[in-house]
Chain A
Amino acid sequence: MSIPDIFRRVLETEEIDGDSDFFALGGDSLLATRVLSAVARHYAVELTFDDFVLAPTPDALAKQIASVVQ
Protein backbone atom coordinates (compact mmCIF):
# COMPACT_ATOMS: atom_id res chain seq x y z
CA MET A 1 0.00 0.00 0.00
CA SER A 2 1.39 3.42 -0.97
CA ILE A 3 1.77 6.08 1.69
CA PRO A 4 -0.91 8.33 0.14
CA ASP A 5 -3.20 5.28 0.23
CA ILE A 6 -2.45 4.79 3.91
CA PHE A 7 -3.37 8.44 4.51
CA ARG A 8 -6.57 7.97 2.48
CA ARG A 9 -7.61 4.92 4.47
CA VAL A 10 -6.86 6.38 7.89
CA LEU A 11 -8.28 9.86 7.20
CA GLU A 12 -11.21 8.44 5.18
CA THR A 13 -10.72 10.92 2.34
CA GLU A 14 -9.60 10.68 -1.28
CA GLU A 15 -8.17 14.20 -1.27
CA ILE A 16 -4.54 13.27 -0.61
CA ASP A 17 -1.45 14.21 -2.58
CA GLY A 18 2.28 14.18 -1.84
CA ASP A 19 2.29 17.32 0.27
CA SER A 20 -0.99 16.83 2.16
CA ASP A 21 -0.33 17.57 5.85
CA PHE A 22 -1.82 14.79 7.96
CA PHE A 23 -2.49 16.95 11.00
CA ALA A 24 -3.94 19.83 8.96
CA LEU A 25 -6.42 17.33 7.44
CA GLY A 26 -7.85 16.37 10.81
CA GLY A 27 -5.36 13.68 11.74
CA ASP A 28 -4.87 13.46 15.48
CA SER A 29 -2.48 11.47 17.64
CA LEU A 30 -4.72 8.40 17.68
CA LEU A 31 -5.02 8.31 13.89
CA ALA A 32 -1.28 8.99 13.60
CA THR A 33 -0.55 5.71 15.37
CA ARG A 34 -2.63 3.93 12.74
CA VAL A 35 -0.47 5.43 9.98
CA LEU A 36 2.63 4.26 11.84
CA SER A 37 1.30 0.73 12.32
CA ALA A 38 0.46 0.59 8.59
CA VAL A 39 3.95 1.84 7.70
CA ALA A 40 5.44 -0.86 9.95
CA ARG A 41 3.27 -3.51 8.28
CA HIS A 42 3.93 -2.49 4.67
CA TYR A 43 7.51 -1.16 4.86
CA ALA A 44 8.91 -3.03 7.87
CA VAL A 45 10.03 0.26 9.41
CA GLU A 46 9.07 1.30 12.93
CA LEU A 47 8.87 5.09 13.14
CA THR A 48 8.11 7.07 16.27
CA PHE A 49 5.34 9.57 16.80
CA ASP A 50 7.95 12.36 16.79
CA ASP A 51 9.29 11.15 13.41
CA PHE A 52 5.80 11.57 11.99
CA VAL A 53 5.25 15.01 13.52
CA LEU A 54 8.46 16.14 11.77
CA ALA A 55 7.41 14.49 8.47
CA PRO A 56 3.63 14.78 8.33
CA THR A 57 3.15 14.54 4.51
CA PRO A 58 3.34 11.44 2.28
CA ASP A 59 6.44 12.77 0.50
CA ALA A 60 8.28 13.63 3.71
CA LEU A 61 7.27 10.33 5.31
CA ALA A 62 8.55 8.41 2.25
CA LYS A 63 11.94 10.12 2.64
CA GLN A 64 11.92 9.31 6.33
CA ILE A 65 11.26 5.63 5.55
CA ALA A 66 13.94 5.56 2.84
CA SER A 67 16.51 7.06 5.20
CA VAL A 68 15.83 4.35 7.78
CA VAL A 69 15.88 1.54 5.22
CA GLN A 70 19.27 2.59 3.80
Chain B
Amino acid sequence: MRVVVAGAGLAGLTAATELVAAGADVTVLEARDRVGGRTHGIEVAAGRWVDAGAAYLGDRHTALHEQLDRLGLRTTPTTMVGDSRFLLGAPDGATRHGRFPPLNAVALGELFDLLGDLTATVRPDAPWLTPDAAHLDTRTAADWAAEHLRHPDARLFFPLFLGEMMAADPAAVSILHVAFYLRSGGGIRYLNAFEGGAQQDRIDGGAHQLCEKLAANLRVRLNAPVQAVHQDDTGVTVHSGLGELRADAIVVALPPLLADRLDLPGLTHRRAGASTARGCTVKVHLVYPRPLWRDHGLSGWSVNAGGPLLSTVDDSPTADAGVLTGFVTGAEAHRFAALTAAERHAEVLAQAKRIFPRLPEPIDCHVTDWTNEPYSRGCYAALFGPGDWRRLGPHLTTPHGRVHWAGTETSTEFFGLMEGAIRSGHRAATEITQEWSPR
Protein backbone atom coordinates (compact mmCIF):
# COMPACT_ATOMS: atom_id res chain seq x y z
CA MET B 1 0.00 0.00 0.00
CA ARG B 2 1.30 3.45 -0.90
CA VAL B 3 0.33 6.48 1.19
CA VAL B 4 1.16 10.17 0.91
CA VAL B 5 1.11 12.38 3.98
CA ALA B 6 0.71 16.13 3.44
CA GLY B 7 2.37 18.06 6.26
CA ALA B 8 5.44 17.13 8.34
CA GLY B 9 4.15 18.43 11.65
CA LEU B 10 3.55 16.23 14.65
CA ALA B 11 0.24 14.85 13.33
CA GLY B 12 1.53 13.97 9.86
CA LEU B 13 4.79 12.46 11.09
CA THR B 14 2.94 10.40 13.71
CA ALA B 15 0.58 9.03 11.06
CA ALA B 16 3.47 8.35 8.67
CA THR B 17 5.48 6.51 11.32
CA GLU B 18 2.55 4.31 12.20
CA LEU B 19 1.75 3.56 8.56
CA VAL B 20 5.36 2.58 7.85
CA ALA B 21 5.23 0.28 10.86
CA ALA B 22 2.11 -1.29 9.35
CA GLY B 23 4.06 -2.01 6.16
CA ALA B 24 2.98 0.91 3.96
CA ASP B 25 5.24 2.74 1.52
CA VAL B 26 4.92 6.33 2.76
CA THR B 27 6.05 9.67 1.34
CA VAL B 28 5.66 12.80 3.43
CA LEU B 29 5.34 16.08 1.51
CA GLU B 30 6.21 19.24 3.44
CA ALA B 31 5.80 22.80 2.16
CA ARG B 32 8.54 24.34 4.27
CA ASP B 33 12.28 23.75 4.13
CA ARG B 34 12.07 22.11 7.58
CA VAL B 35 9.93 19.58 9.40
CA GLY B 36 8.08 20.34 12.64
CA GLY B 37 5.08 22.45 11.70
CA ARG B 38 4.08 24.42 14.76
CA THR B 39 7.01 23.05 16.75
CA HIS B 40 10.26 24.86 16.04
CA GLY B 41 13.50 25.28 17.94
CA ILE B 42 15.77 28.31 18.26
CA GLU B 43 19.36 27.81 19.41
CA VAL B 44 19.84 30.79 21.74
CA ALA B 45 23.39 29.80 22.74
CA ALA B 46 25.62 26.89 21.76
CA GLY B 47 23.58 23.76 22.44
CA ARG B 48 20.86 25.73 24.27
CA TRP B 49 17.47 25.51 22.59
CA VAL B 50 14.13 27.17 23.25
CA ASP B 51 10.73 26.46 21.75
CA ALA B 52 9.59 29.07 19.26
CA GLY B 53 6.34 27.11 18.92
CA ALA B 54 4.57 24.44 20.98
CA ALA B 55 6.42 23.87 24.23
CA TYR B 56 4.54 22.52 27.23
CA LEU B 57 3.00 19.27 28.32
CA GLY B 58 1.38 17.62 31.33
CA ASP B 59 0.87 14.10 32.71
CA ARG B 60 -2.49 13.66 30.98
CA HIS B 61 -0.75 14.00 27.61
CA THR B 62 -0.27 10.27 27.47
CA ALA B 63 0.24 9.80 23.72
CA LEU B 64 2.93 12.49 23.75
CA HIS B 65 4.66 10.89 26.72
CA GLU B 66 4.61 7.51 24.96
CA GLN B 67 6.20 9.04 21.89
CA LEU B 68 8.85 10.83 23.95
CA ASP B 69 9.73 7.56 25.69
CA ARG B 70 9.98 5.73 22.39
CA LEU B 71 12.27 8.39 20.93
CA GLY B 72 14.43 8.63 24.04
CA LEU B 73 13.53 12.26 24.76
CA ARG B 74 13.24 13.57 28.29
CA THR B 75 11.16 16.28 29.92
CA THR B 76 12.19 19.00 32.32
CA PRO B 77 9.88 20.72 34.82
CA THR B 78 8.77 24.32 34.26
CA THR B 79 8.90 24.97 38.02
CA MET B 80 8.90 28.67 38.82
CA VAL B 81 10.19 29.91 42.17
CA GLY B 82 9.84 33.46 43.39
CA ASP B 83 7.55 36.44 42.98
CA SER B 84 5.57 37.45 39.92
CA ARG B 85 5.20 40.87 38.35
CA PHE B 86 1.88 42.42 37.32
CA LEU B 87 1.38 45.54 35.21
CA LEU B 88 -2.37 45.82 35.44
CA GLY B 89 -2.94 49.50 36.14
CA ALA B 90 -0.56 50.67 38.89
CA PRO B 91 2.17 52.79 37.22
CA ASP B 92 5.10 50.85 38.68
CA GLY B 93 3.29 47.52 38.58
CA ALA B 94 2.98 45.13 41.50
CA THR B 95 5.24 42.36 42.76
CA ARG B 96 3.42 39.49 44.41
CA HIS B 97 4.02 35.97 45.57
CA GLY B 98 2.64 33.25 43.30
CA ARG B 99 0.82 33.66 40.02
CA PHE B 100 -2.31 35.35 41.32
CA PRO B 101 -2.89 38.83 39.84
CA PRO B 102 -3.65 41.79 42.14
CA LEU B 103 -7.28 41.93 41.05
CA ASN B 104 -10.55 41.35 42.89
CA ALA B 105 -10.41 37.64 43.74
CA VAL B 106 -14.18 37.27 44.17
CA ALA B 107 -14.78 38.82 40.73
CA LEU B 108 -12.27 36.45 39.13
CA GLY B 109 -13.79 33.53 41.03
CA GLU B 110 -17.19 34.43 39.60
CA LEU B 111 -15.65 34.55 36.11
CA PHE B 112 -14.15 31.08 36.56
CA ASP B 113 -17.43 29.80 38.06
CA LEU B 114 -19.29 30.97 34.95
CA LEU B 115 -16.69 29.46 32.63
CA GLY B 116 -16.65 26.26 34.70
CA ASP B 117 -20.43 25.90 34.45
CA LEU B 118 -20.32 26.51 30.72
CA THR B 119 -17.45 24.06 30.23
CA ALA B 120 -19.37 21.39 32.14
CA THR B 121 -22.32 21.59 29.72
CA VAL B 122 -20.24 20.93 26.58
CA ARG B 123 -20.38 17.57 24.81
CA PRO B 124 -16.59 17.12 24.54
CA ASP B 125 -16.79 14.45 21.84
CA ALA B 126 -19.35 16.38 19.77
CA PRO B 127 -19.60 20.05 20.74
CA TRP B 128 -22.25 20.68 18.08
CA LEU B 129 -24.59 18.40 20.04
CA THR B 130 -24.18 20.42 23.25
CA PRO B 131 -27.54 21.43 24.72
CA ASP B 132 -28.08 25.02 23.59
CA ALA B 133 -25.38 24.64 20.90
CA ALA B 134 -27.41 26.78 18.49
CA HIS B 135 -27.21 29.70 20.88
CA LEU B 136 -23.66 29.20 22.14
CA ASP B 137 -22.29 28.70 18.61
CA THR B 138 -23.70 31.99 17.31
CA ARG B 139 -22.35 34.20 20.10
CA THR B 140 -18.76 35.37 20.32
CA ALA B 141 -16.82 35.23 23.55
CA ALA B 142 -16.89 39.04 23.52
CA ASP B 143 -20.74 38.98 23.36
CA TRP B 144 -20.79 36.53 26.25
CA ALA B 145 -18.42 38.67 28.34
CA ALA B 146 -20.47 41.82 27.71
CA GLU B 147 -23.59 40.01 28.89
CA HIS B 148 -22.20 38.12 31.90
CA LEU B 149 -19.21 39.99 33.32
CA ARG B 150 -20.09 42.95 35.53
CA HIS B 151 -16.95 43.60 37.55
CA PRO B 152 -14.24 45.65 35.75
CA ASP B 153 -11.53 43.25 36.96
CA ALA B 154 -13.32 40.30 35.37
CA ARG B 155 -13.68 42.27 32.12
CA LEU B 156 -9.98 43.19 32.24
CA PHE B 157 -8.85 39.64 32.94
CA PHE B 158 -11.06 37.66 30.54
CA PRO B 159 -9.26 38.65 27.29
CA LEU B 160 -5.87 38.08 28.96
CA PHE B 161 -7.02 34.64 30.05
CA LEU B 162 -8.31 33.72 26.57
CA GLY B 163 -5.11 35.02 25.02
CA GLU B 164 -2.99 32.90 27.30
CA MET B 165 -5.16 29.76 27.13
CA MET B 166 -5.97 29.70 23.42
CA ALA B 167 -4.38 32.70 21.67
CA ALA B 168 -7.82 34.06 20.94
CA ASP B 169 -9.29 37.51 20.55
CA PRO B 170 -12.70 37.23 22.30
CA ALA B 171 -14.37 38.89 19.30
CA ALA B 172 -13.08 36.15 16.96
CA VAL B 173 -14.25 32.96 18.69
CA SER B 174 -17.65 31.54 19.55
CA ILE B 175 -18.30 30.99 23.24
CA LEU B 176 -19.04 27.36 22.29
CA HIS B 177 -15.46 27.07 21.02
CA VAL B 178 -14.10 28.58 24.23
CA ALA B 179 -16.11 26.15 26.37
CA PHE B 180 -15.11 23.23 24.15
CA TYR B 181 -11.43 24.18 24.11
CA LEU B 182 -11.25 24.44 27.89
CA ARG B 183 -13.05 21.09 28.29
CA SER B 184 -10.98 19.36 25.62
CA GLY B 185 -7.75 20.42 27.32
CA GLY B 186 -8.82 18.95 30.68
CA GLY B 187 -10.80 21.83 32.20
CA ILE B 188 -9.94 25.38 33.21
CA ARG B 189 -7.71 24.45 36.10
CA TYR B 190 -5.71 21.77 34.28
CA LEU B 191 -5.21 23.87 31.17
CA ASN B 192 -4.16 26.91 33.21
CA ALA B 193 -1.80 25.20 35.66
CA PHE B 194 1.92 24.72 35.39
CA GLU B 195 2.57 22.25 38.25
CA GLY B 196 -0.09 19.54 38.05
CA GLY B 197 -1.38 20.94 34.77
CA ALA B 198 -0.83 21.25 31.03
CA GLN B 199 2.33 23.36 31.46
CA GLN B 200 4.03 21.09 33.98
CA ASP B 201 6.99 20.19 31.77
CA ARG B 202 8.95 21.13 28.67
CA ILE B 203 10.85 18.78 26.40
CA ASP B 204 14.52 18.86 27.31
CA GLY B 205 16.34 20.33 24.32
CA GLY B 206 13.16 21.46 22.57
CA ALA B 207 9.91 20.04 21.21
CA HIS B 208 11.18 20.24 17.62
CA GLN B 209 13.36 17.19 18.30
CA LEU B 210 10.23 15.04 18.33
CA CYS B 211 9.55 15.83 14.68
CA GLU B 212 13.20 15.66 13.67
CA LYS B 213 13.60 12.22 15.21
CA LEU B 214 10.39 10.92 13.62
CA ALA B 215 11.38 12.38 10.22
CA ALA B 216 14.83 10.76 10.37
CA ASN B 217 13.18 7.36 9.81
CA LEU B 218 10.81 8.49 7.07
CA ARG B 219 10.93 9.54 3.42
CA VAL B 220 10.24 13.29 3.70
CA ARG B 221 10.30 15.69 0.75
CA LEU B 222 10.80 19.33 1.77
CA ASN B 223 9.81 22.42 -0.26
CA ALA B 224 6.91 20.41 -1.66
CA PRO B 225 3.62 22.18 -0.91
CA VAL B 226 0.63 20.02 -1.85
CA GLN B 227 -1.73 21.87 -4.16
CA ALA B 228 -4.29 19.35 -5.34
CA VAL B 229 -5.51 15.83 -4.67
CA HIS B 230 -7.47 14.07 -7.39
CA GLN B 231 -8.91 10.60 -6.89
CA ASP B 232 -10.41 7.81 -8.94
CA ASP B 233 -11.43 4.20 -8.34
CA THR B 234 -7.87 2.97 -7.93
CA GLY B 235 -6.13 5.70 -5.98
CA VAL B 236 -5.18 9.33 -5.53
CA THR B 237 -2.94 11.61 -7.57
CA VAL B 238 -1.22 14.18 -5.40
CA HIS B 239 0.00 17.34 -7.12
CA SER B 240 2.77 19.15 -5.29
CA GLY B 241 5.72 21.40 -5.98
CA LEU B 242 7.59 18.20 -6.84
CA GLY B 243 5.18 17.00 -9.51
CA GLU B 244 2.67 14.16 -9.32
CA LEU B 245 2.62 11.24 -6.91
CA ARG B 246 0.28 8.28 -7.12
CA ALA B 247 -0.91 6.53 -3.93
CA ASP B 248 -3.73 4.43 -2.48
CA ALA B 249 -4.63 7.13 0.04
CA ILE B 250 -3.51 10.44 1.52
CA VAL B 251 -3.44 11.89 5.00
CA VAL B 252 -3.95 15.66 4.91
CA ALA B 253 -2.28 16.78 8.13
CA LEU B 254 -2.57 20.52 7.62
CA PRO B 255 -4.24 23.19 9.75
CA PRO B 256 -7.84 23.75 8.58
CA LEU B 257 -7.17 27.12 6.95
CA LEU B 258 -4.52 25.49 4.72
CA ALA B 259 -6.42 22.25 4.10
CA ASP B 260 -9.35 24.37 2.94
CA ARG B 261 -7.26 25.89 0.13
CA LEU B 262 -6.37 22.56 -1.48
CA ASP B 263 -7.93 21.67 -4.81
CA LEU B 264 -10.05 18.66 -3.82
CA PRO B 265 -12.69 17.95 -6.46
CA GLY B 266 -15.97 16.70 -5.06
CA LEU B 267 -15.30 17.78 -1.47
CA THR B 268 -18.73 18.23 0.09
CA HIS B 269 -17.75 19.79 3.41
CA ARG B 270 -15.28 22.67 3.65
CA ARG B 271 -12.41 22.42 6.14
CA ALA B 272 -12.79 26.02 7.33
CA GLY B 273 -15.41 28.72 7.05
CA ALA B 274 -15.48 32.49 6.62
CA SER B 275 -15.41 32.94 10.40
CA THR B 276 -12.59 30.45 11.08
CA ALA B 277 -9.70 32.58 12.34
CA ARG B 278 -5.99 32.19 12.86
CA GLY B 279 -4.74 31.62 16.39
CA CYS B 280 -3.01 34.90 17.18
CA THR B 281 0.42 34.34 18.67
CA VAL B 282 3.75 36.04 18.41
CA LYS B 283 6.32 34.45 20.68
CA VAL B 284 9.23 36.61 21.85
CA HIS B 285 12.40 35.28 23.45
CA LEU B 286 14.59 37.63 25.46
CA VAL B 287 18.01 36.10 26.06
CA TYR B 288 20.19 36.91 29.08
CA PRO B 289 23.59 35.54 30.14
CA ARG B 290 21.74 33.57 32.83
CA PRO B 291 18.33 33.81 34.61
CA LEU B 292 19.26 37.09 36.31
CA TRP B 293 15.73 37.77 37.63
CA ARG B 294 16.14 34.85 40.01
CA ASP B 295 18.82 36.88 41.83
CA HIS B 296 16.08 39.41 42.61
CA GLY B 297 13.66 36.81 43.97
CA LEU B 298 11.54 36.93 40.81
CA SER B 299 10.11 33.94 38.93
CA GLY B 300 10.10 35.60 35.51
CA TRP B 301 6.32 35.24 35.40
CA SER B 302 4.39 38.41 34.64
CA VAL B 303 0.92 39.39 33.45
CA ASN B 304 0.42 42.72 31.74
CA ALA B 305 -2.72 44.54 30.67
CA GLY B 306 -0.83 46.46 27.97
CA GLY B 307 1.09 44.94 25.09
CA PRO B 308 3.04 43.77 23.45
CA LEU B 309 4.11 41.19 26.07
CA LEU B 310 0.83 40.20 27.76
CA SER B 311 2.63 37.60 29.83
CA THR B 312 6.18 36.38 30.34
CA VAL B 313 7.54 33.11 31.66
CA ASP B 314 10.98 31.76 32.56
CA ASP B 315 11.89 29.28 29.81
CA SER B 316 15.63 29.21 30.56
CA PRO B 317 16.96 25.98 29.01
CA THR B 318 19.72 25.74 31.65
CA ALA B 319 21.15 27.84 34.49
CA ASP B 320 23.78 29.20 32.10
CA ALA B 321 21.26 30.52 29.55
CA GLY B 322 18.53 32.87 30.74
CA VAL B 323 15.43 33.09 28.57
CA LEU B 324 12.23 34.98 29.23
CA THR B 325 9.49 34.01 26.82
CA GLY B 326 6.97 36.74 26.11
CA PHE B 327 3.54 35.99 24.68
CA VAL B 328 1.86 38.47 22.36
CA THR B 329 -1.61 37.05 21.83
CA GLY B 330 -5.14 37.86 20.69
CA ALA B 331 -5.85 41.20 19.03
CA GLU B 332 -2.49 42.56 20.22
CA ALA B 333 -0.67 39.98 18.08
CA HIS B 334 -2.15 41.48 14.89
CA ARG B 335 -1.08 45.01 15.85
CA PHE B 336 2.41 43.91 16.88
CA ALA B 337 2.96 41.72 13.83
CA ALA B 338 2.27 44.69 11.54
CA LEU B 339 5.20 46.70 12.98
CA THR B 340 8.67 46.79 11.44
CA ALA B 341 11.36 44.64 13.05
CA ALA B 342 12.96 47.76 14.58
CA GLU B 343 9.65 48.93 16.04
CA ARG B 344 8.93 45.52 17.53
CA HIS B 345 12.37 45.39 19.08
CA ALA B 346 12.02 48.86 20.60
CA GLU B 347 8.57 48.08 22.05
CA VAL B 348 9.72 44.78 23.55
CA LEU B 349 12.82 46.26 25.17
CA ALA B 350 10.88 49.22 26.58
CA GLN B 351 8.27 46.93 28.06
CA ALA B 352 10.81 44.48 29.48
CA LYS B 353 12.33 47.48 31.28
CA ARG B 354 8.93 48.37 32.79
CA ILE B 355 8.19 44.82 33.89
CA PHE B 356 11.67 44.01 35.18
CA PRO B 357 13.33 47.38 35.92
CA ARG B 358 16.44 45.78 37.44
CA LEU B 359 17.31 43.63 34.44
CA PRO B 360 19.95 44.81 31.97
CA GLU B 361 19.15 44.86 28.24
CA PRO B 362 18.90 41.33 26.88
CA ILE B 363 21.82 40.12 24.81
CA ASP B 364 19.46 38.88 22.13
CA CYS B 365 15.80 39.04 21.16
CA HIS B 366 13.99 36.59 18.88
CA VAL B 367 10.51 37.25 17.51
CA THR B 368 8.47 34.41 15.99
CA ASP B 369 5.26 35.52 14.29
CA TRP B 370 3.00 32.50 13.88
CA THR B 371 -0.03 34.54 12.93
CA ASN B 372 1.43 35.37 9.52
CA GLU B 373 3.34 32.11 8.91
CA PRO B 374 2.11 31.15 5.42
CA TYR B 375 2.37 27.42 6.17
CA SER B 376 0.72 27.53 9.61
CA ARG B 377 -1.70 30.45 9.41
CA GLY B 378 -1.84 30.88 13.13
CA CYS B 379 -0.91 29.22 16.38
CA TYR B 380 -1.66 27.60 18.83
CA ALA B 381 -4.55 26.41 16.65
CA ALA B 382 -7.31 27.57 14.33
CA LEU B 383 -10.03 29.48 16.16
CA PHE B 384 -13.57 28.38 15.46
CA GLY B 385 -15.74 31.44 15.02
CA PRO B 386 -19.53 31.75 15.15
CA GLY B 387 -21.24 28.88 13.33
CA ASP B 388 -18.08 26.85 12.78
CA TRP B 389 -18.73 24.04 15.24
CA ARG B 390 -22.15 23.23 13.88
CA ARG B 391 -20.98 23.58 10.27
CA LEU B 392 -17.50 22.01 10.40
CA GLY B 393 -17.59 19.92 13.56
CA PRO B 394 -19.59 16.90 12.35
CA HIS B 395 -17.19 16.41 9.40
CA LEU B 396 -13.79 17.06 10.99
CA THR B 397 -12.70 13.43 10.81
CA THR B 398 -14.95 12.13 8.03
CA PRO B 399 -12.75 10.90 5.16
CA HIS B 400 -13.39 12.31 1.70
CA GLY B 401 -13.01 9.06 -0.20
CA ARG B 402 -9.31 8.25 -0.04
CA VAL B 403 -8.49 11.56 1.66
CA HIS B 404 -8.11 11.25 5.44
CA TRP B 405 -7.70 14.13 7.86
CA ALA B 406 -5.25 14.68 10.70
CA GLY B 407 -4.01 17.67 12.68
CA THR B 408 -4.66 18.86 16.20
CA GLU B 409 -7.86 20.60 15.08
CA THR B 410 -9.36 17.23 14.13
CA SER B 411 -8.94 15.88 17.66
CA THR B 412 -11.71 16.58 20.13
CA GLU B 413 -9.27 15.39 22.83
CA PHE B 414 -6.61 18.01 23.63
CA PHE B 415 -7.59 20.13 20.61
CA GLY B 416 -4.88 22.64 19.77
CA LEU B 417 -2.13 20.87 21.72
CA MET B 418 0.69 18.53 20.71
CA GLU B 419 -1.27 15.74 22.38
CA GLY B 420 -4.23 16.36 20.07
CA ALA B 421 -1.94 16.31 17.03
CA ILE B 422 -0.48 12.92 17.98
CA ARG B 423 -3.89 11.40 18.75
CA SER B 424 -5.18 12.61 15.36
CA GLY B 425 -2.20 11.02 13.62
CA HIS B 426 -2.90 7.67 15.27
CA ARG B 427 -6.56 7.86 14.26
CA ALA B 428 -5.83 8.69 10.63
CA ALA B 429 -3.25 5.89 10.36
CA THR B 430 -5.72 3.39 11.80
CA GLU B 431 -8.44 4.50 9.37
CA ILE B 432 -6.13 3.99 6.41
CA THR B 433 -4.78 0.59 7.42
CA GLN B 434 -8.34 -0.61 8.05
CA GLU B 435 -9.77 0.83 4.85
CA TRP B 436 -7.07 0.62 2.17
CA SER B 437 -4.70 -2.23 3.05
CA PRO B 438 -4.73 -4.93 0.38
CA ARG B 439 -6.89 -7.85 1.49
A interface residues (Cβ-Cβ under 8 A, vs B):
26, 28-40, 46-49, 52-53
Question: Closest approach, in angstroms, between the C-beta of A47 and any C-beta of chain B?
Answer: 7
CB of B193 within 8 A of CB of A37, answer no
Interface membership of B188, Cβ < 8 A: yes
Residues of A within 8 A of B144 (CB): none
Residues of A within 8 A of B189 (CB): 28, 30-31
CB of B106 within 8 A of CB of A37, answer yes
CB of A34 within 8 A of CB of B109, answer yes
Which secondary structure dominates where chain B touches chain A?
helix
Q: How far is the CA of A31 from the CA of B116 in the complex (A)?
A: 11
Q: List 7 A-B contacts (CB under 8 A).
A: A26-B196, A28-B99, A29-B100, A32-B100, A32-B109, A37-B106, A53-B98
Interface membership of B108, Cβ < 8 A: yes
CB of B105 within 8 A of CB of A30, answer no
Name the residue among B104, B108, B116, B195 with the largest chain A CB count within 10 angstroms: B108
Interface membership of B351, Cβ < 8 A: no
B 69-103 to A, binary, CB cutoff 8 A, 1 in contact else 0: 00000000000000000000000000001111000
CB of B112 within 8 A of CB of A33, answer yes
Sorted from nearest, which 7 A-B pairs have the closest CB atoms? A37-B109, A33-B109, A29-B100, A49-B105, A33-B108, A40-B106, A36-B105
Residues of A within 8 A of B104 (CB): 46
CB of B113 within 8 A of CB of A34, answer yes
The 8 Å CB contact of B116, one of A34, A39, A53, is A34
Interface membership of B192, Cβ < 8 A: yes
CB of A52 within 8 A of CB of B109, answer no
CB of B193 within 8 A of CB of A35, answer no
Beyond A29-B100, A38-B113, 7 additional pairs, beta carbon < 8 A: A28-B193, A28-B196, A29-B99, A33-B109, A34-B113, A38-B109, A52-B105
Interface membership of B110, Cβ < 8 A: yes
Which secondary structure dominates where chain A touches chain B?
helix
Question: Closest approach, in angstroms, between the C-beta of A18 and any C-beta of chain B?
Answer: 22
Q: How far is the CA of A37 from the CA of B106 in the complex (A)?
A: 5
Chain A residue nearest to B99 (CB atoms) is A29
Q: How many residues of B contact A (CB 8 A)?
A: 19
CB of B193 within 8 A of CB of A47, answer no
Name the residue among A32, A37, A40, A47 with the largest chain B CB count within 10 angstroms: A37
Residues of A within 8 A of B108 (CB): 33, 37
B 179-200 to A, binary, CB cutoff 8 A, 1 in contact else 0: 0000000001100110110000
Given contacts A26-B196, A40-B106, A48-B105, contact A34 B112 (CB under 8 A): yes
Name the residue among A47, A48, A49 with the largest chain B CB count within 10 angstroms: A49
Question: Closest approach, in angstroms, between the C-beta of A50 and any C-beta of chain B?
Answer: 9
The 8 Å CB contact of B106, one of A26, A29, A30, A36, is A36
Residues of B101-137 whose CB lies within 8 A of A? 104-106, 108-110, 112-113, 116
Question: Closest approach, in angstroms, between the C-beta of A4 and any C-beta of chain B?
Answer: 18
Chain B residue nearest to A27 (CB atoms) is B189
Q: How far is the CA of A38 from the CA of B113 in the complex (A)?
A: 9
Residues of B within 8 A of A53 (CB): 97-98
Q: How far is the CA of A31 from the CA of B104 in the complex (A)?
A: 14
Q: How far is the CA of A54 from the CA of B105 in the complex (A)?
A: 15
